[in-house]
Structures are given as structure tokens and as C-alpha cells.
């Protein structure tokens, strides 16, 4: 899953990703984990998280104006609902 936004230099981005229960109804941590990877328009990684928690807060400050991309990679095979709250709010899913 990928999201992108055009951001100004020095802009602060704050977000939170939460994962719901498995499709079986159980609520537990991930077995194989998941990642958040944020890249700028030069494909330079500006933030990365890898873990198994069911929620994670993140933040970063842009170093220059341009298109930034958030990529969320879930390696766990169980189906579960995920949600992201983010400021600024003008991110679009690619």
C-alpha cells in the first residue's frame, strides 16, 4: 500500500498506523512483521520502521519541497484491517 503527498521544505509530518484483529477475530501481534518506509522525490529514505506491534506512531520533517511517498508493507499472511491517521491530511493512495 502506498500513499503520496507534495510537501514543502521543513514541513512536519505526524502519523499513526493501527492494525485491527485478524479475520478470525483474534487480536495479537504480527508473526512476520510489517514496515513503514518513507521516501522523498529523489528516492532517499527519510523514515523507516520495521516491527510486529499492532500500532506505531511516526514523524519526520521534510528536508526539501517535493513528492514524498509512504509505503506500508505487511508480511503477515492473516487478513486484518489497517488504518492510518496523518497530518497534514492531503495524502492520496497510489
Q: Render each residue's pLDDT in the chain as its tens digit; 94 residues.
A: 899 999 999 999 999 999 876 666 666 667 788 999 999 999 999 999 999 888 999 999 999 999 999 999 988 777 777 889 999 999 999 8
Q: What is the pLDDT of residue 24?
A: 62
Q: What is the pLDDT of residue 32?
A: 81
Element housing 2 (H / E) = strand 2-7
Q: What is the pLDDT of residue 37?
A: 97
The pTM assigned to this predicted structure is 0.86
Q: What is the pLDDT of residue 84?
A: 93
Is the distance from CB of 14 to CB of 39 less than 8 angstroms?
A: no
Pinpoint the alpha helices (H) of the chain.
none
Give the separation between CA 30 and CA 8, rounded to whole angstroms: 34
Q: What is the pLDDT of residue 75?
A: 84
The domain 2-93: what is its CATH number? 2.60.120.380
Domain boundaries, the chain: 2-93
Amino acid at each position: 500500500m502506498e500513499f503520496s503527498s507534495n510537501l514543502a521544505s521543513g514541513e512536519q509530518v505526524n502519523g499513526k498506523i493501527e492494525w485491527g484483529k485478524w479475520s478470525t477475530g483474534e487480536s495479537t501481534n504480527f508473526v512476520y512483521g510489517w514496515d513503514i518506509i518513507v521516501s522523498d522525490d529523489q528516492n532517499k529514505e527519510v523514515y523507516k520502521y520495521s516491527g510486529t506491534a499492532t500500532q506505531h506512531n511516526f514523524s519526520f520533517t521534510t528536508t526539501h519541497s517535493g513528492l514524498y511517498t509512504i509505503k506500508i508493507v505487511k508480511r503477515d499472511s492473516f487478513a486484518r484491517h489497517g488504518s492510518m491517521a496523518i497530518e497534514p491530511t492531503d495524502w492520496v493512495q497510489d
